Structure 1
């Protein structure tokens, strides 16, 4: 009887320990599925979900819980959400949101709590330079897309341009990036309101400037309305150049034929000839009714795979933030963008590509890979990072 009781007690203890070991790894995901970045936020959500499905809802083979909450693109609401994730949910990782102003708002609390923030989009210059932090990991730095676009504008021979973006941290970064490599002259530099949908005044300003071309960073609904009004305002013969965020599948589908021939730059494209990318695009199109993924979806997918690899590479030591940061710093997963490394500021050193909007074999408008613009490119702020 004594032996039976001891055996029962041992089994009960093993069960309790097993239950403790099976506590899920919690991931906080700030979603922008309403508000000014809703179109991009929906794309990111679909990328997250595809990666979670691929991993069977686990990270590194361990049970995981993915806490997804919409904060409507509001930095104050994002801060409240992150406070709840940290205090109530005890998250191990954080990802999202879309906008740089929200990323800048939530980061201090995450850094203080030593929770890795794997960005699924924003790459603010602040975290690339003097405010770099070991717990932040970018997928690109805001300026870099536009440095590639500036180089393209030089190659196209555009001598006088107008550049336009929303007046918030990412908008300023994107225009600064373009100006860094563009060698021509600027007729005008225009900043708009975040979420603006009427561009009549700005288009009149552009028309009066008579530029050789226009560079615009206006993601999501902002870009959709701008391009429609730009063409409708009689400027269809003025070439447009954009970072990929302003000419991706969400914008292409909404605008239609006026997008044909528009050149844009990105660190990823759906026809990048890599096995991991082909697998991702095929699975995405199968899950989402034949729709091509955007760069937002690709980065969200990569963010989850980065967490998975970090948990695996630490041997499941999710209670050690330092171990997770070390693992994240040397990514071992197969990224959809191909091989990349992190600079000391935890922003990638990677290639950037030129894409052009064309029709695929089925007559669908989409981006087509043209070629490489920048190879193993590093952001301009890394020298300021003391990390």
Structure 2
């Protein structure tokens, strides 16, 4: 049975890394993510990437044995908050990682950082946490929500699109996605549509798009939402006629279901499977070998989380009790990131390049993301100036 086939459990799951773990591991990590429902592929890729990162570090982090306790937040903020409290108070984890969706992250955030637990996120990135709510205990190896969509907005501006329609699910990351796109796009926004989270049918919205005759359409629909929207966009005859721009919609979690339907769709972000650095080549090769599929950016940032932890713990001698020393070690963590250059900003979000990607056919006849251009070099999120950390 593969890891993807293991049912997501509400109770913690302890997994041995390599050989069987001792009764009391030196480093105890809680992994909290969306592992079920239409968004479950995001959390599973985060988890698989994180576990592969531990494998790459020799099955330990900073030379210390590791115990993982896994929880499924079910994309429900209250479930996530209860799970986080369990991980902190009962399981006594020293690090909490994962976090797929911003509404869940916001629900658990204060409980985690107020407890002094290290919170290492590898997807969700709400603006408040990047700004005035930043914490010395919080780190992200992914992005602040606006950033990838800022890159797509700038790309649309550079391509000369004048009239663009925008769609996203109605929750924090969806709203921040459209804010990010509009920050760098100077043309006319024909419509700004927010749909229900996990909405399966977009026929009404797509009919409205066809009638408005936009130059391009921009969407943010992660996981199963993206599969449904892109398929219905194709079925409506709009694919290839009206350019489809996206963020976190066409990626390693959705392309296996979309295949040729997604050819030509554009996306943006700081990572793609074809980035030509040695760490990324090794990561993609090992991920495909272990899991039998191409990794998504969720897996890539999960992998970087494990690598960052490994570097920081090596610098502290495997200790987490001195929180200030560990924070400084994380800020300075030097590790071979899959995105190439990597550094934490003052708010502990990454500063990195952002690229435009196109869905193309790969040499094996499948589909993949191909890097087309660098939209932003060394891009900082727009909220870091509100963070008081130095």
Query: By the TM > 0.5 criterion, same fold?
Result: yes
Q: CA deviation at 1:31?
A: 2.8
Matches within 5 A, 1:1-387: 23-138=25-140, 139-236=142-239, 237-243=241-247, 245-289=248-292, 291-387=293-389
Question: Where is the helix percentage greater, Structure 1 or Structure 2?
Answer: 1
**Residue deviations 1:261-301 (CA, integer Å, cap 9, x gap):** 11110100111111111110110011122x21100010111
SS in structure 2 of the partner of residue 45 of structure 1 = helix
CA contact (8 A) 2:25 2:67 kept: no
Q: Which moved more, 1:37-46 or 1:73-82?
A: 37-46
Distance in 1 between residues matched to 2:105 and 2:127, nearest whole Å: 11
Q: Which 5+ residue runs of structure 2 have no aligned equivalent?
A: 1-21
Distance in 2 between residues matched to 1:34 and 1:207, nearest whole Å: 33
Q: CA deviation at 1:339?
A: 1.4
Q: Which consecutive aligned stretches of 4+ in structure 1 deviate over 3 angstroms post-superposition?
A: 20-23
**Residue deviations 1:183-228 (CA, integer Å, cap 9, x gap):** 1101000001111111011112211211110000001100100011
TM-score (norm 1): 0.92
SS in structure 2 of the partner of residue 250 of structure 1 = coil
RMSD over equivalenced CA pairs, Å: 1.6
Distance in 1 between residues matched to 2:322 and 2:257, nearest whole Å: 45
SS in structure 2 of the partner of residue 257 of structure 1 = helix
CA contact (8 A) 2:259 2:366 kept: no
SS in structure 2 of the partner of residue 66 of structure 1 = strand
Q: CA deviation at 1:313?
A: 0.9
Distance in 2 between residues matched to 1:107 and 1:324, nearest whole Å: 19
Q: CA deviation at 1:332?
A: 1.1
Distance in 1 between residues matched to 2:258 and 2:273, nearest whole Å: 19
Aligned length: 367
CA contact (8 A) 1:93 1:307 kept: no
SS in structure 2 of the partner of residue 277 of structure 1 = helix
Q: CA deviation at 1:22?
A: 6.9
CA contact (8 A) 1:114 1:135 kept: yes
Distance in 1 between residues matched to 2:23 and 2:244, nearest whole Å: 55
**1:172/1:234 CA distance change after superposition, 3 Å:** same
Distance in 1 between residues matched to 2:157 and 2:255, nearest whole Å: 25
Distance in 1 between residues matched to 2:256 and 2:130, nearest whole Å: 33
Distance in 2 between residues matched to 1:167 and 1:339, nearest whole Å: 33
Larger Rg: 1
CA contact (8 A) 2:127 2:145 kept: yes
